[in-house]
Amino acid sequence: MNAATDRPLAFGVLPGGSTPAEFLAGAQTAEALGFDSVWVGDHVLWHVFWPEPMTMLAAASAVTERIALGTGVLLAALRNAAPLAKQSATMQWLTEGRFRLGVGAGGEFPAEFLASGVPPRERGARLDDTLEALVALWSGAPVSLHNRVISVEDARLDVVPNPPIPIWVGGRSQRAQQRAARFGDAWMPFVISPERFAEGWANVRAEATRLGRDADAIVPAVQLWGQFDDDLAEALTTIAARIESTYRTPFERFERYTVYGDAEMWVERLRLFVDAGVRHFNFVFAGGDRLGQMTRVATEVVPQLRGGR
C-alpha cells in the first residue's frame, strides 16, 4: 500500500443549518465529537438558500478551537485572485492555521458565472490561473505574473499565511485530476462512485509523479451526501427530497453517489470508498436532526471504520 492510502482515516462534516445558531451549534458539536474538520459549500446564485462560505467559517472560527475549517468547495474562479489571496490568508491568520481552501470549477448553474462576469466555458482555465496566482501571492515574495485573472509586477501580499494554506481540489473530471496533481494537497471529488474514485486517484498520483511532486503527500478525499436513520424508508424519503430540491435532478440519477440508512449500511457503503483509496470523508447531511446524525455517525460508524471491523 502506498503511504497516501496508509494514512489514518479522517472525517469532516458540512453541518449546514437554517439559522446562524444552528450552523454554529453544528460546528461546535462536530468539534466536541472528534470530527477532524467542518466545511461549507459555495454558490453565488443557487436554487435554494446558500450563505457565503468564508463569512460562515469566520464565524465558526470564533466558537471553535481545534477543528479545521474549510470551503467544500469554493468556486474560486468567480472571485478576483488578489482579493481572494488576501481573504484566504486572513482566514488562516484568524483561525491560527486551521483553514483549508477547497476549490472547484463548478458549472452546474451557468447563471452564477454569467452574473459574476465569468464565461462558463472559461471556468476551468480561470480556476487554474487563480490557483497559480494564489500560490504566488501567498509566498509573500514579490510577484510578477500575467495570466487570465491577474496582471501584476512586483506585487507583494502583506498577510502571509503561516502555515501555508492547504489546497483541496474538487472535481472528478480528468481536468480536475490534473489540477489536483499540480496544485492540490488533497483531491476531493463529489458525485463519484468508488470505482471511478479508484481510477481517478490512480490518475492523480501518476500525474503528480510526472510533475515531480510527492504523490503520497496528497490526501485522497471524497464528499458525500448522506442521511443517517434506522428507518430506511424515512432516510430514503428525506435524502431524495433534498437532492431533488437542491440539484433539480431525479434522485435515481444521484442515489449511487450517496450514503443513507443505519450504521450497518453506512459502514458497508463507506468501506467501498476506503477500499478505493479514500482516507478523508466529508459528510453533507440531507435533513432532519443533523446534530443527532453527527453524533451517531461519530459513535457508531467512525469507530468501526477506524478499527477495521
Residue ranges covered by each domain of the chain: 10-109+162-307
pLDDT grade for 304, boundaries at 50, 70 and 90: very high
38: β partners: 13, 69
Q: Is the pLDDT of residue 47 over 90?
A: no
pLDDT grade for 5, boundaries at 50, 70 and 90: low
Backbone CA torsion sign across 216, 218, 224, 230: positive
Q: Is the pLDDT of residue 284 over 90?
A: yes
pLDDT at 302: 98
Backbone CA torsion sign across 147, 148, 154, 156: negative
Q: Is the pLDDT of residue 213 over 50?
A: yes
149 preceded by cis ω (within 30°)? no
Give mean pLDDT, residues 283-299.
Answer: 97
pLDDT grade for 177, boundaries at 50, 70 and 90: very high
pLDDT in tens, 260-280: 999 999 999 999 999 999 999
Q: Is the pLDDT of residue 4 over 80?
A: no
pLDDT grade for 210, boundaries at 50, 70 and 90: very high
Alpha-carbon distance of 128 to 146, in angstroms, equals: 13
Q: Identify the burial level of 21 via C-beta atoms within 10 angstroms of its C-beta, where 0-12 means exposed, 13-18 middle and 19 or more buried.
A: exposed
**What homologous superfamily is domain 10-109+162-307 in, according to CATH?**
Luciferase-like domain (3.20.20.30)
Alpha-carbon distance of 30 to 51, in angstroms, equals: 19
Alpha-carbon distance of 131 to 280, in angstroms, equals: 22
Q: Is the pLDDT of residue 144 over 80?
A: yes
Q: What is the mean pLDDT of the chain?
A: 96
Residue 288 gets which letter from DSSP? S
Q: Is the pLDDT of residue 1 over 50?
A: no
pTM of the predicted structure, to 2 decimals: 0.96
pLDDT in tens, 111-138: 999 999 999 999 999 999 999 999 999 9
